[in-house]
Chain A
Amino acid sequence: MNAQKALRSDLNTIIDWIEPESRVLDLGCGDGTLLDQLKQHRNIHGYGLEINPDQIVECVRKGVNVIEHNMDESLSNFKTDSFDMVVMTQALQAVHYPDHVIDEMLRIGKECIVTFPNFAHWRCRFYLLTKGRMPVSKNLPYTWYNTPNIHLCTFKDFEALCHRKSLSILDRTVIDANANASLASKLMPNLFGETAIYHITRHHE
Chain B
Amino acid sequence: MSDPKKPVAPSEQEIGVVVPQAQHFDTPLLLQCGKTLPEYEIVYETYGTLNPEKSNAVLICHALSGHHHAAGYHSVDDKRPGWWNACIGPNKPLDTNTFFIVSINNLGGCHGSTGPKSLNPETQKAYGPDFPIVTSKDWVESQARLADLLEIKQWAAVVGGSLGGMQALQWAIDYPERLRHSVVIAAAPILSAQNIAFNEIARKAILSDPEFHGGHYYETDSFPKTGLILARMLGHITYLSDEAMREKFGRELRAGELKFDYDIEFQVESYLNYQGEEFSKNFDANTYLLMTRALDYFDPAAEYNNDLTQALSRAKCRFMVMSFTTDWRFSPERSQEIVDALIEADKEVSYAEIDCPQGHDSFLLDIPRYTALFTAYMDGIAQEINQ
CA distance A45 to B345 in the complex (A): 12
- Chain B 304-348: CB-based contact to A (< 8 A → 1; otherwise 0): 000000000000000010000000000000001001100110101
Smallest distance from the beta carbon of A70 to chain B beta carbons, Å? 10
For B353, B369, B379, the residue with the greatest tally of chain A CB atoms inside 10 Å of its CB is: B353
CA distance A23 to B382 in the complex (A): 27
In the bound complex, do residue A60 and residue B380 qualify as a contact, i.e. CB atoms below 8 Å apart? Answer: yes
CA distance A65 to B377 in the complex (A): 11
A residues near B379, Cβ cutoff 8 Å: 61
B residues near A60, Cβ cutoff 8 Å: 320, 350, 373, 376-377, 380
Kindly report which residue of chain B lies nearest to residue A25, judged by CB atoms: B343
Query: Which chain A residues numbered 51 to 84 have a C-beta less than 8 Å away from chain B?
Result: 53, 56-57, 59-61, 63-69, 77-79, 82
In the bound complex, do residue B346 and residue A61 qualify as a contact, i.e. CB atoms below 8 Å apart? Answer: no
Which listed residue (B349, B355, B372, B373) contacts A67, Cβ 8 A?
B349
Judge whether A47 is part of the interface by a CB distance below 8 angstroms: yes
Which listed residue (A47, A56, A64, A82) contacts B373, Cβ 8 A?
A56
For B340, B343, B372, the residue with the greatest tally of chain A CB atoms inside 10 Å of its CB is: B343
In the bound complex, do residue A67 and residue B339 qualify as a contact, i.e. CB atoms below 8 Å apart? Answer: yes
In the bound complex, do residue A68 and residue B340 qualify as a contact, i.e. CB atoms below 8 Å apart? Answer: no
A interface, how many residues as a size bin?
Answer: 20 to 34
B residues near A23, Cβ cutoff 8 Å: 346
Which listed residue (B336, B346, B348, B355) contacts A77, Cβ 8 A?
B336
A residues near B353, Cβ cutoff 8 Å: 68
In the bound complex, do residue A61 and residue B348 qualify as a contact, i.e. CB atoms below 8 Å apart? Answer: no
CA distance A69 to B339 in the complex (A): 11
Which listed residue (A57, A68, A78, A82) contacts B372, Cβ 8 A?
A57
CA distance A78 to B352 in the complex (A): 17
A residues near B377, Cβ cutoff 8 Å: 60
CA distance A65 to B369 in the complex (A): 18
Which listed residue (B340, B344, B348) contacts A65, Cβ 8 A?
B348
Judge whether B351 is part of the interface by a CB distance below 8 angstroms: yes
Kindly report which residue of chain A lies nearest to residue B349, judged by CB atoms: A65
- Chain B 344-385: CB-based contact to A (< 8 A → 1; otherwise 0): 101011111101000000000000010011001101100000
Given A53-B369, A57-B372, does the pair A67, B380 have CB atoms closer than 8 Å? no
In the bound complex, do residue A67 and residue B350 qualify as a contact, i.e. CB atoms below 8 Å apart? Answer: yes
Kindly report which residue of chain B lies nearest to residue A32, judged by CB atoms: B350
Kindly report which residue of chain A lies nearest to residue B350, judged by CB atoms: A66
CA distance A59 to B348 in the complex (A): 13
CA distance A59 to B373 in the complex (A): 10
Kindly report which residue of chain B lies nearest to residue A49, judged by CB atoms: B351
Smallest distance from the beta carbon of A171 to chain B beta carbons, Å? 27
B residues near A57, Cβ cutoff 8 Å: 372-373, 376
B residues near A45, Cβ cutoff 8 Å: 346
CA distance A121 to B15 in the complex (A): 60
CA distance A66 to B348 in the complex (A): 9
In the bound complex, do residue A77 and residue B350 qualify as a contact, i.e. CB atoms below 8 Å apart? Answer: no
In the bound complex, do residue B380 and residue A61 qualify as a contact, i.e. CB atoms below 8 Å apart? Answer: yes
In the bound complex, do residue A78 and residue B343 qualify as a contact, i.e. CB atoms below 8 Å apart? Answer: yes
A residues near B343, Cβ cutoff 8 Å: 47, 67, 78, 82
Q: List 18 A-B contacts (CB under 8 A).
A: A45-B346, A53-B369, A56-B352, A57-B373, A57-B376, A60-B350, A60-B373, A61-B379, A63-B380, A65-B348, A65-B349, A66-B352, A67-B339, A68-B351, A69-B351, A77-B336, A77-B340, A82-B343
Inter-chain pairs besides A56-B350, A67-B349, 7 sampled, C-beta below 8 Å: A56-B352, A60-B377, A65-B348, A67-B351, A68-B352, A69-B351, A77-B340
Residues of A at the B interface (CB closer than 8 Å) are: 23, 45, 47, 53, 56-57, 59-61, 63-69, 77-79, 82
